[in-house]
Amino acid sequence: MFDVIVLGAGHAGIEAASAAARRGATTALISFSADNIGIMSCNPSIGGLGKGHIVREVDAFDGVMARAADASAIHHRLLNASKGAAVQGPRIQADRRRYQAAVKALMAVSGVTFVTGEVTGLDLSGGAVRGIVLASGERIATRALVVATGTFLGGRIFRGDERHSGGRVEERSAGPLAAHFRDFGLPMGRLKTGTPPRLDGRTIDWARLTEQPSDDLGWTMSALTPARTVPQIACAITRTTAATHDVIRAHLDTSPLYSGAIEGQGPRYCPSIEDKIHRFGDRDGHQIFLEPEGLDDPTVYPNGLSTSLSADAQRAMIATIAGLEQARITVPGYAVEYDHIDPRALAPTLAVRSIEGLFCAGQINGTTGYEEAAGQGLVAGLNAAAHANELTPVILDRASSYIGVMIDDLVLQGVTEPYRMLTARAEFRLSLRADNAETRLAGLAQRAGCVSAERLHHQQRSADQRATLRQRLDRSLTASDIQGLGGRVSQDGARRSAWEWLRFDGIDLDLIAPDALDGIDPAVIREVGEDARYAPYLERQAQEVATLRSEESIALPTDIDYAAIAGLSNEMVARLDASRPISLAAAARIRGITPAALSAVLLHAKRYAA
């Protein structure tokens, strides 16, 4: 008997199992094979815009991803380094093997029991999770179950006219489980994603390509990683040509995307190369990023070349690209179509509303990306442990984190394409920075009881330093003082605190208060400097957040019969019925719900409560 069983050892499953164990739950992690633990199925990178934010947020809860990324990072790039910190996205290229090794090492000391096997059945007698059944016939009892099966649920692979059943190339899919899920009456859908061919780096003519070196800014993904340790290597950039596009057009009829074989919707923000040529045919070339998959692995991931054309067409296409003329494909690209559940069937804890003790996380919820999966795994794991052991649930809201934005979007709006995080999705973007994830979430993480002593110490130390530095910036200065320090400001006679001066262009902490920085970590200095720079906007957002949170306090029962509320259109009834918002504010965020509809819902809810 376990408190929590996690199904699937990908990025969602790993974080779920680890988080449940950190909260004190006895936890088992089940996968087809130990080789699958922490596997990177697609591109070998972690982080990026919006995604890097999520990695840091998972890290604030003492999660696995950021530390494993640091242990395997062979290339660092801070996207948007020249723009405001809110849209800076830390991203690393990971050495695939080192990443897996790091995850395994962290899991080995996590207290999680690893079980090899295929789950073929669930015991849900009485509408609640009781246990799982393995293909061997063995039954294991549990109080809570987290399903994190990625693309394996009903997975089907497409490449030209080839068809395979499977969640990843040369791996089987979780067929019986998919059938099971449909039997439970959960709302399901199909989505599609794709991956490019992998190349043998020894056959690429690197000398002809533009090199993209790793940055030397020194940042790391995890707050607990003191410094970079792995040797750094460069990526390279090439581009498609008119000849490439000709090859693709000539083979479009072999693409399952255009033959109608694939019914699932693919992601607009990660289109296949066929899609790019088809939709943006006027362009003379598209960039391809060549990303090495490891220090001692010749495999190269050509980012931007996702395709499901036939293997022959892929070879012809590669040969038209500068530097890749002689390149050998080690594994051809393919598209995969898979089952997902409609995430509107989930509560903000990622619990399936209709089955007690069942949680879902990751690609099964209609998302894409390792980071999105990890963020959901964290929340599902924390709440599965809460369910099993009667602890307080952990709900992240839109104002706290990108994870909160993502889960709110998922459970209220559902998905029409694989959901990927973009910073534009966060209305409180200015407040939700990758560099302040710990400040935003440490309190929540500590209250959830899921951080180690080492993490706690670091979080408290940073909090103390922030308070100290902030207080030192209360000193007041005149424009003349600033000019005396070499700052270019206009003489308006006003006296301002150092904190207020920092929002002026060209004024920074080193100029205005170098002595205030004594004993403060560089990361804290950058964070506080950014807070000061955007202070008026952050204050405004803080007010919006206060309004949002007060509106969240008007709870709606989750068993309202929306069809019985006169005056709602059929479409509104369908949307409210699918999402079952927990508050009036959540109902207001559902697309197409008008203010007039909200007042009808509120009135009905009050009547209902009476």
Q: Does 277 count as an annotated binding residue?
A: yes
Is 595 among the residues that bind another protein (CB under 8 A)? yes
Q: Is 476 helix (H, G, I), strand (E, B) or coil?
A: strand
Q: Does 429 count as an annotated binding residue?
A: no
The answer to whether residues 507 and 482 touch, using CB atoms and an 8 Å cutoff, is yes
Stretch that binds another protein, among 60-68, 242-250, 351-359, 589-597 (CB under 8 A): 589-597
Element (H, E) at 339: strand 334-341
For 83, 186, 346, the CA distances from 353, given in Å and listed in that order, are: 41, 10, 6
Q: Which residue is listed with tokens 């990023």?
A: 289
Q: Which residue is listed with tokens 């060549």?
A: 290
| Of 200, 215, 297, 427, the one binding another protein by CB under 8 A | 427
Is 280 among the residues that bind another protein (CB under 8 A)? yes
Question: DSSP assignment, residue 583?
Answer: B
User: Contacts with another protein: how many residues (CB under 8 A)?
Assistant: 55
Q: Does 585 count as an annotated binding residue?
A: no
Closer CB to another protein, 17 or 86, in the complex: 86
Q: Does 274 count as an annotated binding residue?
A: yes
Closer CB to another protein, 202 or 268, in the complex: 268
Contact pattern from residue 8 through residue 47 relative to another protein, giving x for each residue in contact according to CB under 8 A and a dash for the rest: -----------------------------------x----
The answer to whether residues 425 and 45 touch, using CB atoms and an 8 Å cutoff, is no
Q: Is 607 helix (H, G, I), strand (E, B) or coil?
A: helix
How far apart are alpha carbons 379 and 223 in whole angstroms? 20
How far apart are alpha carbons 374 and 58 in whole angstroms? 7
Closer CB to another protein, 270 or 411, in the complex: 270
| Ordered strands of the 162-165 beta sheet | 162-165, 156-159, 334-341, 188-195
Closer CB to another protein, 237 or 444, in the complex: 237
Is 452 among the residues that bind another protein (CB under 8 A)? no
Select from 224, 307, 318 the least CA-distant residue to 262. 307
Is 563 among the residues that bind another protein (CB under 8 A)? no
Q: Does 276 count as an annotated binding residue?
A: yes
Stretch that binds another protein, among 220-228, 285-293, 312-320, 493-501 (CB under 8 A): 285-293
The answer to whether residues 487 and 478 touch, using CB atoms and an 8 Å cutoff, is no
Is 67 among the residues that bind another protein (CB under 8 A)? no
Is 83 among the residues that bind another protein (CB under 8 A)? yes
146, burial (CB in 10 Å: exposed 0-12, middle 13-18, buried 19+):
buried
Closer CB to another protein, 80 or 480, in the complex: 80
Is 84 among the residues that bind another protein (CB under 8 A)? yes
Closer CB to another protein, 229 or 287, in the complex: 287
Select from 168, 193, 90, 188 the least CA-distant residue to 419. 193
Closer CB to another protein, 286 or 526, in the complex: 286
Is 80 among the residues that bind another protein (CB under 8 A)? yes
How far apart are alpha carbons 568 and 40 in whole angstroms? 45
Q: Does 9 count as an annotated binding residue?
A: yes
How far apart are alpha carbons 246 and 267 in whole angstroms? 24
**Binders of another protein in range 505-544 (CB under 8 A):** 534, 537
Closest contact distance (angstroms) between CB of 25 and another protein is: 36
Q: Does 13 count as an annotated binding residue?
A: yes
Q: Does 194 count as an annotated binding residue?
A: no
Give φ, ψ of 493 to 5 degrees.
75, -5
Closer CB to another protein, 195 or 465, in the complex: 195
DSSP 213-231: PPP-S---SSTT--S--SP
**Binders of another protein in range 386-425 (CB under 8 A):** 413, 422-425
Pairing of β 476-478 and β 495-497: antiparallel
Is 592 among the residues that bind another protein (CB under 8 A)? yes
CA–CA–CA angle 532, 548, 56 (5° rounding): 55
Is 604 among the residues that bind another protein (CB under 8 A)? yes
| Of 96, 251, 276, 496, the one binding another protein by CB under 8 A | 276
Q: Which token pair is 293?
A: 């998959």
Is 249 among the residues that bind another protein (CB under 8 A)? no
> For 431-466, b where at least 16 C-beta lie within 10 A, e where not — what string?
bbbbbbbbbbbbebbbebebbeeebeebbeebeebb
Select from 231, 205, 201, 224 the least CA-distant residue to 72. 231
Select from 332, 333, 361, 335 the least CA-distant residue to 346. 361
Is 568 among the residues that bind another protein (CB under 8 A)? yes
Stretch that binds another protein, among 156-164, 251-259, 476-484, 564-572 (CB under 8 A): 564-572
| Of 49, 106, 451, 473, the one binding another protein by CB under 8 A | 49
Element (H, E) at 90: strand 89-94
Closest contact distance (angstroms) between CB of 37 and another protein is: 26
| Of 163, 249, 279, 461, the one binding another protein by CB under 8 A | 279
Closer CB to another protein, 311 or 600, in the complex: 600
Q: Does 268 count as an annotated binding residue?
A: yes
Which positions lie near another protein, rule CB under 8 A? 43, 49-50, 77, 79-80, 83-84, 86-87, 89, 267-271, 276, 279-280, 283, 286-289, 303-304, 413, 422-425, 427, 429-430, 534, 537, 565-569, 591-597, 599-600, 603-604, 606-607, 610
Annotated binding site for NAD(+): 266-280
Q: Which residue numbers belong to the known binding site for FAD?
A: 8-13
